[in-house]
Amino acid sequence: MTITRRDFLSASGLMASASLIDPAWAAPLPRDVDVVVVGGGAAGIAAARRVIAAGQKVVILEAAAGLGGRCVTDATSFEVPFDRGARWIHNPDISPMVKLARGAGVELSAAPMGRKIRIGRRNARAGEAEEFLAALVRTNRALDEAARGKIDVSCASALPGDLGAWTATAAFVLGANAAGKDLKDFSVIDKVRGQERNASPLACRQGLGTLVTRLGASLPVMLSSPVSRIVWSGRDVQVESTSGRLAARAAIVTVSTNMLVTGSIKFAPDLPKRPLDAAAALSLGSQDRIALQMPGNPLGLGRDEVVVEQSSDRQTGSLLANVGGSALCVVDVGGSFGRDLAAQGEAAMVAFAMEWLTRLYGSDVVGTVKKSAATRWDEMPFVRGAMSCAAPGGQPSRRILAEPLGALFLAGEATHETMWGTVDGAWESGERAAEAALRRLGVLRDTDTSAPAASSRRRATPPRSSRAGGPVQ
């Protein structure tokens, strides 16, 4: 079966409303398939859908007990869904996730755009808020200028020296809160290229994790099946997991960069040094959420209102209050401080969130907390972090990581040069890898040049924003 790329894209678009496989698929692991997908997150689901749209046989091997990867919605702990991982759809004017969400019965709404600045126990005055915004503008201009240089330096080295009292706040908002790494550990080119994600994002009322799992519900998946070994020395591949061994004509591997580097999956032969070095340069940042149920709106904030403080050091966070008009408030922490805090356990994280809110709103708010929960993405055994973030000098590693290796193809948000750290980037990377695999199989002829490959799509650059993100935003 040979189809053009135009036919292929058209066919795959039908999958938003068509179930090609019984959602209760629970057959034994097949002995062989055309393509095996390792990892059932957004990239893996996107890849599998594309393969099926081309009429090929596929199976997803997922190490965890459920689909979604870093897109996880907790629908039971609180009165509204709590996205423990990614929570925004970016660039909705061109994102395929918007159409897919409608087909999956998920309601979308504009994500919060504004932000309150807290200085001690009061809101910043108009002039102070303008000073902060001006500091962000100067910082972004300085980062833009540094990114034009011949050497990919750290964002910290390009930080303007005239930010005054807003230095630590700007560093938090643009570094730990946006990408999970401190600015000293963050490539300035990666930062600037990643700004394309910030145009008018959308939130899912049922949760972004709910959307991603619904999109994978009709696919052939083997859950709780961590892959231990992939043999890729020949024309085909052999994949070994706890569910057994299978042969495939191609393999798409979507595990996180941290998992690649730790060697939890053995490759025979070993992966070349080039992609391994690229994965190491794209290690995952640390970003976690502390959810607090606070009935009665004791903070006096509006629906989905975002709050940051004028901080003097890295021990700070950001607040998303009254999620969806509910009593759920979420404190985000990240970077080296967030990583150290999460390592102390959930109790320490909740204690910090309460102490931080006390510092901003007074001690009375502590007694209003009725329930709490916290994520610890660095401790998740099949992820080990939040989102990929290039080290200084490491931005070219994204393209390197996406290079095919015979019948082996790597995908995931880390392989997207501009939409890294987002579910949109992960989804596009899965489609890109699937198309590359199908070309190798002779199923897809890239004769239609009207639509570029997913990994190279250029987007109109939106206005700059300093929006907080998430583990794969």
The pLDDT of residue 112: 81
Secondary structure (3-state) at 284: strand
pLDDT of residue 197: 63
Q: Over 80: is that where the pLDDT of 1 sits?
A: no
pLDDT digits (tens, 9 = 90+) for 430-457: 999 999 999 999 998 865 433 334 444 4
How many Å separate Cα 276 from the centre of its chain?
20
Give the pLDDT confidence of 320-359 residue by residue, as tens digits: 999 999 999 999 999 999 999 999 999 999 999 999 999 9
pLDDT bracket for residue 471 (50, 70, 90) = low
Q: Compute how many other C-beta atoms are within 10 angstroms of the C-beta atom of residue 151.
A: 10
Q: Is the pLDDT of residue 198 over 70?
A: no
Q: Are 54 and 1 in contact (CB under 8 A)?
A: yes
**Torsion angles phi and psi, residue 183, rounded to 5:** -60, -25
* pLDDT at position 296 over 90: yes
CB atoms under 10 Å from CB of 38, counted, come to: 26
For 336, the enclosing helix (H) or strand (E) is helix 335-343
Q: Are 369 and 159 in contact (CB under 8 A)?
A: no
Question: φ and ψ at 291, to 5 degrees?
Answer: -95, 130
- Give strand ranges (E) for 217-263: 221-222, 227-231, 237-241, 244-253
Domain 3-71+207-283+383-456 has what CATH class? Answer: alpha beta
Other CB atoms closer than 10 Å to residue 25's CB: what's the count?
Answer: 13
pLDDT of 222 reads 97
d(CA 183, CA 187) in angstroms, rounded, equals 8
- CA–CA distance, 38 with 23 (Å, rounded to integer): 19
Please report which helix (H) or strand (E) contains residue 202, including its range. Answer: strand 202-204
Q: Where are the domains of the chain?
A: 3-71+207-283+383-456
The pLDDT assigned to 368 comes to: 97
Class of residue 12 by CB neighbours under 10 A (exposed 0-12, middle 13-18, buried 19+): buried
State mean pLDDT over 254-269: 97
